[in-house]
Amino acid sequence: EIVLTQSPATLSLSPGESATLSCRASQNVYSHLVWYQQKPGQPPRLLIYDASIRATDIPARFSGSGSGTDFTLTISSLEPEDFAVYYCHQRSKWPRTFGQGTKVEIK
Amino acid sequence: EVQLVESGGGLVKPGGSLRLSCAASGFIFTTYTMNWVRQAPGKGLEWVSSISSSTEYIYYADSVKGRFTISRDNAKNSLFLQMHSLRADDTAVYYCSRDLRVGATRDYWGQGALVTVSS
């Protein structure tokens, strides 16, 4: 199974700062990688698919990059509503897998 | 409006069984792969199982293979997860989701059903 390793586990930042989240895959997943945001008590919300394409209604401050085994989610200027947990998820091979998550918290 | 509503969660004893349902509406159910994803309390997301639109392809996580069975009733726009031999580590919120297919720009998730396995 493909293991996705996210770093850092926690990111402590202030509103207005930028956030850079990393996801590394144990095998080549090409561009078949998505990013989700999850807030407490809510289901995940799709942010980015195919590694770099913003999903419907996702603000432009969210961007994704990478291919193969190394991926990055960047939030250019954190808004108060962006403090949440972020997961990467590979859709390249079965079984599908998720990373363990990165928590973006208010500093 | 796309809606996915899970039901059937609850408290069950170790070794017991439970059947989750997901009622889908607002889209052509028969054309989408559907998924179950779970989240243990305070933990991350874990993909559980997926079923293709025509049921031709079915996949399971190793952690549930042989114990869980995914199915769908396309006539009733419903997705199911039959769970047997439940263990404490199956305790989680179980989400039903509509898969992100080629050409789509978003996926959809239900609000989740809590399954608690405890004596």
Residue A26: both structure tokens together: 């144990």
| pLDDT band, very low/low/confident/very high, at B33 (cuts 50, 70, 90) | very high
Contact across the interface for B59 and A49, Cβ inside 8 Å = no
A53 inside 8 A of chain B by CB: yes
The yes-or-no verdict on residue A82 having pLDDT over 90 is: yes
Residue of B107, B111, B114 to mutate for A, most A C-beta atoms under 10 A: B107
Partner residue opposite B107 with nearest CB, options A46, A96, A101: A46
Q: How high is the pLDDT of residue A78? A: 97
Give chain A positions within 8 Å (CB) of B112.
43
Kindly state the average pLDDT of the residues B43-65. Answer: 97
| pLDDT band, very low/low/confident/very high, at B74 (cuts 50, 70, 90) | very high
The yes-or-no verdict on residue B50 having pLDDT over 90 is: yes
Q: Please state, rounded to an integer, the average pLDDT across all residues of chain A.
A: 97
DSSP state of B74: T
Q: Please state, rounded to an integer, the average pLDDT across all residues of chain B.
A: 96
The yes-or-no verdict on residue A91 having pLDDT over 90 is: yes
- Contact A86/A102 with Cβ under 8 angstroms? yes
The yes-or-no verdict on residue B101 having pLDDT over 90 is: no
Taking the C-alpha atoms of residue B51 and residue B55, their distance in angstroms, rounded to an integer, is 6
Kindly state the average pLDDT of the residues B89-109. Answer: 93
The yes-or-no verdict on residue B105 having pLDDT over 90 is: no
**pLDDT > 70: percent of chain A:** 100
The yes-or-no verdict on residue B102 having pLDDT over 90 is: no
The yes-or-no verdict on residue B104 having pLDDT over 90 is: no
Kindly state the average pLDDT of the residues B78-93. Answer: 98
- Measured CB to CB, residues of chain B less than 8 Å from chain A are 37, 44-47, 50, 59-62, 95, 97, 100, 105-107, 109-112
pLDDT (tens digit per residue) in A33-51: 999 999 999 999 999 999 9
Contact across the interface for A100 and B44, Cβ inside 8 Å = yes
Residue A70: both structure tokens together: 């190394």
Residue of B47, B49, B59, B60 to mutate for A, most A C-beta atoms under 10 A: B47
Strand, helix or coil at B14? coil
What secondary structure does DSSP assign to chain A, as a single string? ---EEEE-SEEEE-TTS-EEEEEEESS--TT-EEEEEE-TTS--EEEEETTTEEPTT--TTEEEEEETTEEEEEESS--GGG-SEEEEEE-SSSSPEE---EEEEE-
| pLDDT band, very low/low/confident/very high, at B42 (cuts 50, 70, 90) | very high
Q: What are phi and psi of A57, to 5 degrees?
A: 70, 15
